[in-house]
């Protein structure tokens, strides 16, 4: 799932970059692409935050399962 999230994040960056470059066609090329890269990076950051929020990407040193779900089974022994 992390590979899919990475692919989608990079494609968001590229799509936002190309969209910005296309919309700012009257500006100088260097300024156009610089702004496109910045807009793409912000869009990629937003996509990564969304993927972190929904659990598609897990932060380093974190278990993909919530701590509440990691309950050990305990057997109850009757009193004798």
Q: Is residue 77 part of a domain?
A: no
Residue span of the structural domain in which 27 resides: 2-55
pLDDT at site 2: 83
Task: Tell me how many domains the chain contains.
Answer: 1
Cα-to-chain-centroid distance, residue 40: 13
What 3-state DSSP class applies to 40?
A: helix
Mean pLDDT of 61-77: 62
At 77 the pLDDT is: 72
pLDDT, tens only, 7-53: 999 999 999 999 999 999 899 999 999 999 999 999 999 999 999 89
DSSP per-residue letters across 11-37: HHHHHHHHHHHHHTTTS-HHHHHHHHH
Residue 71 is predicted with a pLDDT of 54
Q: Is residue 72 part of a domain?
A: no
80 lies in some domain:
no
Classify residue 63: in a domain, yes or no. no
């Amino acid at each position: 799932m992390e590979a899919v999230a990475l692919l989608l994040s990079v494609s968001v960056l590229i799509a936002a970059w190309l969209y910005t470059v296309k919309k700012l066609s009257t500006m100088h090329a260097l300024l156009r692409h610089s702004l496109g890269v910045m807009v793409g990076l912000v869009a990629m950051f937003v996509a990564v935050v969304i993927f972190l929020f929904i659990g598609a990407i897990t932060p380093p040193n974190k278990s993909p399962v919530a701590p509440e779900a990691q309950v050990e089974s305990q057997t109850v022994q009757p009193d004798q």
